Amino acid sequence: MLVALTRPVPPTIAQCELTHLERTPIDFARASEQHEAYENALRAIGCTVRRLPAAPDHPDSVFIEDTAVVFDECAIITRPGAESRRGETTAVVDALRQYRRLHPVTEPGTLDGGDVLVVGHRVFVGLSTRTNKEGAAQVAKILERFGYVVWTVPVTNVLHLKSAATALDEDRILLNRRLTDAELFRDVELLDVDESEPMAANVLCVDGKVLCAADAPRTRAILERAGYTVTAIDSSELAKAEGGLTCCSLLVREG
Ligand code: CIR
């Protein structure tokens, strides 16, 4: 069974952190509807959705991916790079404790889950405005005992590494090579987004089924030609908060 942990859009979403985008009005009702449709799409691709409590004190709490990174053997609890987001981990710890042994990232390390790209047993950690070298070193230390190999990757121009590249399978990623250096992923198979769709690399793939942004039809066609079953998801409201498709869930494989 695959459990997808999610968190509702908080009514405070308009006060979210922003790094690369200008602030524009976010329609809370519409964002919530789109988020529910996303949860339904997760169900349709085989996930059991478990919604954590809302956290109105944390405007970015819907972006649950940034609070933890879940592996088969353990889960890493992050120390988010934005101070406003640090309190989001408490409820995630409570929820994840029943599934995995937890390893927290500690000060001075910072880590956002959006910067951790797992491709089979390879783990690429983006060094960004949110994730620092200490955070990446802690990830490497936690994971070395389980046979993962960890590399760091510079992240510039985008918020997180997974804004530029996401995993499709155990040895393949979808990437936008204008936003990240393709050379860094040398022993992984690469599938390119359509270059007219700069934000299309953030897709959520579960066992060959892909959730892809509705405003990336050309990349969707590329994925379909490569044999994936693709569902288009309209997440335009949360995109104004710099959220993508991976960032609204944490996937936990059970049993
Ligand atoms: C933030 O700046 O932290 C949020 N407004 C967006 C986080 C998106 N997270 C992700 O892509 N993993």
Residues, the chain:
255
Protein residues with CB under 6 Å of any ligand 1 atom:
16-17, 19, 60, 63, 65-66, 82, 85, 114, 159-160, 241-244, 247
Distance CA 152, CA 229 (A): 31
Residue 135 has what pLDDT? 98
**Which 3 state secondary structure label does DSSP give 141?**
helix
Residue 81 has what pLDDT? 98
Find the 187 Cα to ligand 1 centroid distance in Å.
28
Supply the DSSP symbol for 53: P
**Catalytic annotation on 16?**
no
Q: Please compute Rg for the chain using Cα positions.
A: 17
The pair of structure tokens assigned to 88 is 């989001």
Residue 255 has what pLDDT? 76
The phi and psi torsions of 15 (rounded to 5 degrees) equal -95, 20
Is 129 exposed, middle or buried, given 0-12, 13-18 or 19+ CB atoms closer than 10 A? middle
Distance CA 239, CA 213 (A): 10
Of 160, 205, 212, 248, catalytic: 160
Amino acid at 175: L
The phi and psi torsions of 105 (rounded to 5 degrees) equal -80, 135
Residue 186 has what pLDDT? 81
Residue 41 has what pLDDT? 98
Question: Which ligand 1 atom is at minimum distance from the Cα of 18?
Answer: 2
The series of mean pLDDT values per 10 residues for the chain, 255 residues long, is 98 97 98 98 98 97 98 98 98 98 98 98 98 98 97 95 97 96 92 96 97 98 98 97 97 92
20: left (phi over 0), alpha (psi -120 to 50) or beta: alpha
**Catalytic annotation on 247?**
yes
